[in-house]
Amino acid sequence: MSEWVSYYRSEEPEEEEEEEQQEAQAVADHRFSGRDSLIFLVDASEAMFESDGDGVTPFDMTVQCIRNVYTSKIISSDRDQLSVVFYGTEKNKNSADFKHIYVLQELDNPGAKRVLELDQYRGDEGRVLFRKTFGHNADYSLGEALWACSNLFSDVRVRLSHKRIMLFTNEDDPHANDSAKAKLARTRAGDLRDTGIILDLMHLKKPGGFDISLFYRDIINIAEDEDLGIQPEESRKLEDLMKKVRAKETKKQTLVRLNLYLNKDLSLSVGVYNLVQKAYKPYPVKLYRETNEPVKTKTRMFNGKTGSLLLPSDTKRAQTYGNRQIVLEKEETEELKRFDSPGLFLIGFKPLSMLKQHHHIRPAQFIYPEESLVSGSTTLFNALLMKCLEREVMALCRYTACRNTPPRFVALVPQEEEVDEQKVQIAPPGFHIIFLPYADDKRNVDFTEKVPASREQVDKMKEIIQKLRFKYRTDSFENPVLQQHFRNLEALALAMMEPEQAEDLTMPKAEEMNRRLGNLVEEFKQLVYPPDYSPDAKAVKRKQASDGQAEKRPKVEVSKDELWSHVQKGTLGKLTVPVLKDACRLYGLKGGGKKQELMDALTEYFSER
């Protein structure tokens, strides 16, 4: 179990860590740097506010979904840019003054005020407030709504890496009677595609079903690493809608982009992805107590003797070796960190059967081709993947993530693409990077003496295990400490009366386990433990006797000369408390129970003699 402090990373990263981060960022192409941005384009026509009998309207589902994304972004990516735009309203508010388009929230960082503003329009009271504040009007133009979203992206001053629009509607043919507006919408959607803006359709339940082919098949556009394929069904529940939104808004951000060298003259470009990453509590932010503004920490170095300010050029680094300080220049220390140029260098191939379970010493990474960096990488990558799958082999490589990290030997294990019954991708095609252990990583473990079990005991335990088996999924168990921490922050930010209590899914379900097992546990106890065994009874310590007498620990004796020598040298502290107590008892001294009192009594005794 990790300690509490392990949830908090260091408040201020060390200088070396900052250099490593800068080095890693330098490896990646500048085109991929920036913040993610997401616009929620919501249909506000009257059909979105009609319930089909379950009491939940499509608009309520949409607002709840947007709220969940906001709270999730506040925790995970508070620097991302989010916006909410309504179309089909009576009133309008946008930079181009388009009719029936209302920009509720400009592109900005998510915050508590925005979440509270969305909460106003939930439920029956929110429906009345929305009608009173914005109204409804079906004479809108979807093309102008897309144009307004494009203007929001253009007005942002920070650099944006990914631009995405999520369109929420339950109208499958909004411009059935107006070909001019339909043509304008298709034109604007094409303009978005040309500028790299992704448009996703989040279609909701509609009486009679939602037919994408009527209008939206020509409107939506997808990212390069996604496949249009068969569109998922319309969202009838909030869980279905959240699943689609989460799959789209989650960042597929590469850890690093580098080349996979097959030989000296042939290479392809790949992106490295983290499959599993440990979740931490966010960094604590120091605030100025009078204004609540974040404070910035600066470090300055001064001369210890003169007190004068030292510039970076005035300092050097040294390494002690053989009682000598070896002084190094900054360039030399940077050169020492660099082992090799970043990349994956192919060494050879081995059968997959040679990769053992104990070779997995840390979470694996995943590589996928990067066509945007080196043209033709996808074709060559797929050819390599197909051959490795066909021959059931893995590729052995030397892997250097960035210049200042040491190289590692890795195995590239091929993975075939997997799809479900609806042709939706479950697992992408690519290679898993398995970090192979060095000889120093292997340890010789002393195993305890094996106690043989009878066949009857083994069979009974097999029955117990069979009853308690379940399908394990890592995403089914959330960290209860982190979840409660985030709920506490949410309650403070949204001025709630009390935080929602997080359910600890890691605790075993004792009642369910007892119901499944029945009498199997008692039967197993009778087979394994003696009749008088009680797990609640305190264990009785057994004394090891030798010839009927308890073996006593021999006392450590120190001669008078040795004590006098320790007193002269001032090294009495090296002796243990039992030895000091025995010495005081030998000379009839009353030194108390503390070590310092014992040392003072012995020092005074020998000084007077």
Residues acting as catalytic residues:
31
Scanning 319-446, the segments in alpha helix (DSSP H) are 330-337, 377-391
CA distance 493 to 395: 50
CA distance 574 to 564: 14
CA atoms within 13 A on the CB side of 163: 20
CA distance 103 to 153: 13
Is 481 strand, coil or helix?
helix
CA distance to 42, 363, 381, per residue, from 348 (Å): 53, 23, 16
- Are the CB atoms for 37 and 107 separated by under 8 Å? yes
CA distance 294 to 43: 38
CA distance 396 to 262: 11
CA distance 571 to 579: 13
- Which amino acid is it at 30? H
CA distance 255 to 491: 33
CA distance 115 to 118: 5
The total of other beta-carbon atoms located within 10 Å of residue 219's CB is 22
The two tokens of residue 129 are: 């407030």
Q: Which residues contact 88 (CB under 8 A, 6 or more apart)?
A: 43, 44, 45, 48, 100, 136, 137, 138, 140
- Are the CB atoms for 255 and 274 separated by under 8 Å? yes
Element (H, E) at 184: helix 179-194
The total of other beta-carbon atoms located within 10 Å of residue 73's CB is 20
Q: Are strands 301-302 and 160-169 parallel, antiparallel or unpaired?
A: unpaired
